[in-house]
Structure 1
Amino acid sequence: MAQADELEDQSSGQNAVVLGDEEGKRRKRRKRGGGGVQQPMARDPLEVLGRDIMLKIMSKLDARSVALSLVASRGWHAVASSDHLWAPKCEELWHGKAHIPRVSQARGLSRLAAYSLSVLDGKRCRIMKDDLCDHAWEFHFGKGAPEYWRNLDPHWGGNGLPMRRYFHPDGSQTADPGDKVWGGHESCYCIVTGIVLGEGKIREHYVRINRWLPLYVYRKQDWSWEMSNSLYCYNSVPDAYKEGGTGPLFLVM
């Protein structure tokens, strides 16, 4: 009798272990998705929603987010590179800018390429002859200039329009008629750019007019230019309205 009870106890223990294992397996299945029911596979939103709806969604995104989706797949690239998306983003990028780069206005260029080239050109700090000649420049003396010159400058006296200077492709520079400071003398300019050999980095970069002090070049956030030294300063006059853009035709770094 005792032996029978012992066998019964062993059988009950084994059943408990088996039941415990089954319960453990069920719990694992529930964690994975439950009861062995197959979970639906994630589907590409582009396939689910279609091109037109995805275009509307992407139009609400910023340019960086749309650009990131270009590498998702060929289908996503086809949608995310659409001119319908990038044309308004180009207008948004150019809004409030002093100059629109000519390199972004080439005929037949996609709006995505126009946006990318505009961003790259907006970071350019190396001024070119096209930049000098395409813009009118406001000129004024700095605090370090002699008082006699500053007294002739409307910028300091507040009694007239700003003086303007103009650069020409033949290397000459002129002013408006009646400019009290200009004096009618002949003027020429050159652009000096020093490159570190083997590295391609700019060592020095300035514009020189006649034998006067070098004008060091700065690029502002609105893509306008400033050239200045301790005596005087040049600022490019905004001309975003110019058809075809301004500056070099090819991307310059």
Structure 2
Amino acid sequence: MGKMFEFMDARSVARSIVVSLGWHEIATSDRLWAPKRAELWKGKAHIPRMSKVRGLSKLAAYSLSIMDGKRTRIMKEDLCSHVWEFRFKKTAPEYWRNLDPSWKGTGPPMRRYFHPDGSQTADPNDKVWGGHECTFSIITSYIGEGQIRNHYVRINRWPPMTVSRREDWSWEMANHLYCYNSVPDAEKEGGTGPLFPVW
């Protein structure tokens, strides 16, 4: 039966857990779920911190990863866990685009770093950054029953950035002038993002 479960997809195995006590024991084993979890994580940009908690079963890690991968509400832990690529869009003024090495083809995209104290920094010699003081805020407003109405990130007084999630679990924040993309870090020790589920 264990061999049979190995060839089944994760959803089918999860459904079989409730068939009987005997099926439950086999269908929830770490031996069965370890390769399924590895397959799920393959090609993903970020692995959620909550799924790497010591002592967590492989089935629980798989389930938490699936749920977190669907999350589109970004938290401070997400911002601070990642390095971010910063690029201007075509709609940005030409002067700014000329300062962006990725636009001119003279270098890689600029990078930005978010910090727990609410500040943001850049690499040395970044011509756009200029060493000025920079802060960020995450704004979330709700309508009835916890349903999100608005959710965005704002840097200083610049236009708000809408937040989206890609299939590889990476993040993008963008407005009409520029965008931020999280740099893949699937091998980061301990994972990334909040430790407790946020949906």
- With the shorter chain as reference, the TM-score category is over 0.9
Gap runs ≥5 in structure 1:
1-53
Report the alpha carbon displacement of residue 249 of structure 1 after superposing the two structures with TM. 0.2
Larger-Rg structure? 1
Secondary structure of residue in 1 paired with 2:59: helix
Report the alpha carbon displacement of residue 132 of structure 1 after superposing the two structures with TM. 0.2
Greater relative CO, 1 or 2 (CA 8 Å, sep 6+): 2
CA distance in 1, matches of 2:146, 2:75: 17
Of 160, 168, 180 in structure 2, the residue corresponding to residue 234 of structure 1 is 180
Of 161, 165, 168 in structure 2, the residue corresponding to residue 222 of structure 1 is 168
CA distance in 2, matches of 1:104, 1:63: 16
1:211 alignment counterpart: 157
1:154 alignment counterpart: 101
TM-score by length of 2: 0.99
2:190 alignment counterpart: 244
Describe how 1:2-41 pairs up with structure 2 within 5 A. Answer: none
Identity of aligned residues (%): 71
Report the alpha carbon displacement of residue 228 of structure 1 after superposing the two structures with TM. 0.2
Report the alpha carbon displacement of residue 64 of structure 1 after superposing the two structures with TM. 1.1
2:73 alignment counterpart: 126
CA distance in 2, matches of 1:158, 1:84: 48
CA distance in 2, matches of 1:155, 1:213: 22
Amino acid at match of 1:116: S
Report the alpha carbon displacement of residue 220 of structure 1 after superposing the two structures with TM. 0.4
Report how many residues are paired: 199
Amino acid at match of 2:47: I
Amino acid at match of 1:173: Q
Gap runs ≥5 in structure 2:
none
Of 128, 134, 141 in structure 2, the residue corresponding to residue 194 of structure 1 is 141
Amino acid at match of 1:234: Y
1:64 alignment counterpart: 11
Of Structure 1 and Structure 2, which has the larger fraction of its residues in strand?
2
1:18 alignment counterpart: none
Report the alpha carbon displacement of residue 225 of structure 1 after superposing the two structures with TM. 0.2
Secondary structure of residue in 2 paired with 1:71: coil
CA distance in 2, matches of 1:73, 1:201: 37
Of Structure 1 and Structure 2, which has the larger fraction of its residues in helix?
1
1:99 alignment counterpart: 46
1:114 alignment counterpart: 61
Pairing 1:136–2:83 present: yes
2:123 alignment counterpart: 176
Runs of 4+ more than 2 Å apart: none
Secondary structure of residue in 2 paired with 1:211: coil
TM-score by length of 1: 0.78
Report the alpha carbon displacement of residue 202 of structure 1 after superposing the two structures with TM. 0.3
